[in-house]
Structure 1
Amino acid sequence: MLKEKSYFKEELPINVTTAHIEDYPIHFHDDIEVVYVLEGSIALKNGYYNYILKQGDIFILNDREIHSFTKTNEGNMVMMLQLDLSYFSNYYGNLKNNFFVTDMQDDDESLDILRNILGRIMMEILEKGYGYEHKVIESTHNLLACLLADFQYFLMEDGKFINETKNKGNKVLAGRLRRITGYMYENYTRKLTLNEIADKEHLSIYYLSHVIKEATGLSFQDLLSFIRVEESEKLLLGTNKKVGAISEEMGFSAVRYYIKHFKTWFGMHPLEYRKKFTDKVSSRETAAKYIRCSPQEIEEAIRKQVKGVYTEYIKGKKPNPVIVELDIMAALQEESAENNFIGTLLERDNMKPIARPYNLMVSLKERLLASGINYMITTSCNGTAEINSISILVYNINDFIKNDLQHAENREKIYEIASQYDEEGEFLIKCQGLSGEFNVSRYKISQKNIVTAYQEGLRAPGVASKRETLISSWSTLPDVEFSAITTSEALSIRSTMRGISAEIILIDRQQQSNHSKAKQLLR
């Protein structure tokens, strides 16, 4: 079939294929496609014009443009990104029939921005971290904003459209051209006059003619004939209609004018073109031949092409530390600290497996010194005596997870979230005002502990054997660790976790009854 249907996942309005292409037959689709050559080169036939795209090149295939890909004498790796226009038109107005042209100097700053955005989209999809869909959609919005700002200015030169920089940034002109070309694409099959469009744009015929010629390099009539000829290619290759019928359907007043203009753009008679390319149209017999690239291949190509994005991606894979600096004496002087912790969320009945450390912390009934969405620090001291203890609770829960947990209606959904979320978290608590020798007691529940606890709660009674029940009970046991530390004025405590998990850290001044508070709490 000449028309290729684009398939988009429910949660993503884009579709990305990165592949080594051997041959991708002639086809078109109703959505914009961004082509980015990561390695080697690829031959692109876009309507009447043939291009050789090299490494680093980006080409925009506007909706309904007929095109095909063929390998050159060297290998290639090509990223093909399709955008769901029905989704993005909700934000940017009608994007159909837009012209985006990226034919410009390789070192143009705007192209570098496009490469960075495309690299970021690809890396987010490769990583598939929690909430990656949101990041991908956000980056795609940035991609469209960049296209609308810098790549919808075009000019005809040597038979092909190139990016025109003189009018870049002229939003009034860009909007006017978009309306004019959109109207021409919607009405090219009938008699269409310059006067009709001038009336719609509230411009004189002379000025409108000047605007079109100045902005595109084509006269109004030449632009209209180009649109008609371009659209006729679909009927030539996708139907058996006669040339005369196609000419009439495209809005030409006589078949000789159609043939004349077709030869101008395609360099041959319409029937000759049909004979030459019909057997190269995408079909069951002439299916696309390509090999999808592995994540490792894609990552390596982006590392070479878009180094800044790759470095950012690698950094993003490491824990993003939560750093808390607390002056204990200063905090004690304040009347009360604001509680920003997620306690209300953890107090819900379906959160019990996750809330165990929080409930233990609350049972101490200590004074709050500091808190954030995922940490709280308390003490039993009243501010007048020596500081003998502080208690720290940290949860590897960020804003995304908090929001998802708040909207989880039952234990099944919480179990699903706890099973899927796998990102690392790092906390560094810097406490000022602690001097001496201290015992440090740690109580940590891991993602495995929490997931197993939910599994046990969801399992029907009597289904598991005694052996399975015993093993599961071991999987819910927390890790407990005891150590000692000597400090002078400042103490730093670090905690790292993966997935939804939590840790209580109890710091007690060494006395005769070592670990007294910890033993009482963990008993």
Structure 2
Amino acid sequence: MDKNFYNTISFMQHFQKQSQFPVSAFLKAVNSTPIHMHDGMELLYVLSGAAQVKISFHTFELRAGDFLLINQFEVHKIQKLEEECVILFLQCDETIFGDEARFFAFDPFYYRNYHIDQVEILKKSMVEIYLSLASDQRLLDVPGGISLPADKISAIDPPTEKVSSISLLTGKIAAICLDHFQMQHFKMTNRAESPFSGSNTKLERVENTIRYIYKEFDHKIMLHKVAKREYIDKYYASHLIKAGTGAPFQEMLSLVRADRAEVLLLGTEMNLSEIAEAVGFSSYQYFVKQFRFYFGMLPQGYRKQYQPQTYPNIAEEDDLLSISEEDWRHQLASKYQIAEKTVSELVLQGSEMEEFLGFLIQEGVAERFLGKKELEVSKIIFQLKEPRIVQDLL
């Protein structure tokens, strides 16, 4: 199954870029989401309350302060467990992690108990990106003028300083996830760290095997072929896979196939025999047995119960925030000691000031936006190209 195939699945939600950046950040008081998946990675930081997250056949409870990463094309659903559950979301284009497909730990246990200092950097970086991107979404409320919609601001490219800042933060997030939280760094069956954490060669072999299984699961995969790809014999390959993931090779393969079968059960009208063949199971009977082992239900019963809960069959339900999003931004900026910048401070830097004022004048809204007196001053500043005075003016 390639990306083009996943794009045909009915409950796919496509990654929406904010401006020119490979990330999108937003804050929501979550009530309940439909079952869905994304064509990019999704990072969650729970700011208050608690939520239950269903990812494939796993169910986790997230509480305030928790961080979680949901992989590309991973079927999931979020349901609040307390009166208010506020979550900061960061959606990332998969390209920030490189050209190869990557698979990260999706159990909050790992993020609570391993590399805690790195998780704190991840959360702070999410907040910084959110605050920066949020500044472009706000309206400019200027005394004596009008509010200028964000889509007008976005007509001007963000200043280099801002682009560099968001690019740096995005790169930091990618580096931490790649260095510490890829699936091969942990045993998938008992929540332990991989014994190969100190061996790059062994980690790379486990990573290559995981990636190969996820890429080729719908074909006939033999252990000796996997071993041949890594220039080792099949007995050592078997030992390496089980030691690194906690699961034997065949169990890993069946797990991935059952996991991908869920996508077809909920997102297509294929019959069960077609699904069994499509995900690589040798027979319909073996598919039913393995699916029931992992999901605790027969495939047909699972489809009947959960397909009606998929996007867009039901709408996403969000609660109203008990305090405004602006107040949340102030709280987050204070907690992480991040200096908040207004839209004008972010935009009006260096040569960007010239473009911004030129845009206002060209669109014929400068007078209403700045007021008559300020307009005359701004025209002088526009000629002098003095951004400090413009910032004081606004």
Higher relative contact order, structure no. (Cα contacts within 8 Å, ≥ 6 residues apart) = 2
Contact 1:229-1:261 within 8 A present in 2 as well: yes
Q: Decide whether the 8 Å contact of 1:418 with 1:499 is kept in 2.
A: no
Give the structure with the higher percent helix: 2
Match of 1:150 in 2: 180
Give the C-alpha shift of residue 414 in structure 1: 6.3
Structure having the larger proportion of residues in strand: 1
Match of 2:224 in 1: 195
Aligned to 2:72: 63
Which residue of 148, 166, 171 maps to 1:141?
171
* Amino acid corresponding to residue 164 of structure 1 in structure 2: E
Instruction: Please say if 1:118 is aligned against 2:126.
Output: yes
Determine the structure 1 residue equivalent to 2:293: 264
Q: Determine helix, strand or coil for the equivalent of 2:16.
A: coil
Q: Which residue of 2 aligns with 1:427?
A: none
Give deviations 1:51-88, integer Å, cap 9, x for gaps. 11111111111111100111113311111211111x42
| TM-score between the two structures when normalised by the length of structure 2 | 0.77
CA distance in 2: counterparts of 1:469 and 1:77, whole angstroms: 43
Counterpart CA distance in 1 for 2:363 and 2:85 is: 51
**Separation of aligned partners in 1, 2:333 and 2:22:** 26
The residue aligned with 1:415 is 354
Q: Select 2:99's aligned residue among 68, 93, 96.
A: 93
Compare CA radii of gyration and give the structure with the larger one: 1
Letter matched to residue 248 of structure 2:
S
| 1:228 counterpart (257, 262, 271) | 257
Aligned letter for 2:103?
A: N
Instruction: Describe the SS at the equivalent of 2:49.
Output: strand
Q: Could you say if the C-alpha distance between residues 248 and 134 of structure 1 is closer, same or farther in structure 2, counting changes exceeding 3 Å?
A: same
1:281 aligns with 2:316: no
Q: What per-residue deviation string (whole Å, max 9, x for no partner) do you get for residues 77-107 of structure 1?
A: 111211111x425xx331x242334523636
CA distances 1:218-252 after superposition (whole Å, capped 9, x unpaired): 10000000110000001111122221221111111
CA-based RMSD: 3.4
CA positional deviation for 1:116: 2.1
Query: Which residue is 1:179 aligned to?
Result: 208
| Count of aligned positions | 343
Query: CA deviation digits over 1:260-286, x for unaligned, max 9?
Result: 111111011111111111111111x40
Structure 1 residue 474: deviation in Å? 6.7
Q: Deviations over 1:421-466 (max 9, x none)?
A: xxxxxxxxxxxxxxxxxxxxxxxxxxxxxx8xxx4xx799xxx9xx
Q: Give the Å deviation of 1:49.
A: 1.1
CA distance in 2 between counterparts of 1:181 and 1:471 reads 62
CA distance in 2, matches of 1:474, 1:114: 43
Q: Which residue number corresponds to residue 6 of structure 2?
A: none
Conservation of the 8 A alpha-carbon contact between 2:28 and 2:87: yes
Shift of 1:473: 5.2
Q: Structure 1 unaligned runs (5+)? A: 319-396, 406-412, 421-450, 479-495, 503-523
Amino acid at match of 1:220: F
- In the alignment, is the contact (CA less than 8 A) between 1:418 and 1:500 conserved in 2? no
Q: CA, structure 1 residues 419+122, in 2 after alignment: closer, same or farther (shift >3 Å)?
A: farther
CA distance in structure 2 between the partners assigned to 1:226 and 1:135 by the alignment? 40
The 2-side partners of 1:109 and 1:301 are apart by 21
Check if 1:109 corresponds to 2:117: yes
Distance (Å, rounded) in 1 between the aligned partners of 2:239 and 2:162: 47
Q: What secondary structure is seen at the aligned counterpart in 2 of 1:26?
A: coil
State whether residues 47 and 66 of structure 1, in contact with CA within 8 Å, keep that contact through their aligned partners in structure 2.
yes
Contact 1:34 1:81 in 2 (8 A): yes
Classify 1:470/1:139 alpha carbon distance in 2 versus 1 (closer, same or farther; 3 Å).
closer
Give CA-to-partner distance per residue, 1:368-400, whole Å, 9 cap, x none: xxxxxxxxxxxxxxxxxxxxxxxxxxxxx99x9
Return the alpha-carbon distance in structure 1 between the equivalents of residues 376 and 263 of structure 2: 66
CA gap 1:30/1:401 in 2 versus in 1, 3 angstroms: same
Deviation at 1:44, TM superposition (A): 0.6
State the secondary structure of the residue aligned to 2:88.
Answer: strand
Q: Give the TM-score taking structure 1 as reference length.
A: 0.59
Structure-1 separation of matches of 2:103 and 2:215: 12
How do 1:336-355 and structure 2 match up within 5 A?
none
Alpha carbons of 1:296 and 1:259: their partners in 2 closer, same or farther (altered >3 Å)?
Answer: same
Could you report, residue by residue, the CA deviation over 1:161-215 in whole angstroms, capped at 9, with x for unpaired residues? Answer: x462644354333332232112111211121101111111111111111111011
2:49 to 34, 40, 51: 40
Q: 1:224 to 1:301 in 2, by over 3 A?
A: farther
1:290 maps to: 318
Partner Cα distance (2:230, 2:272) in 1? 34
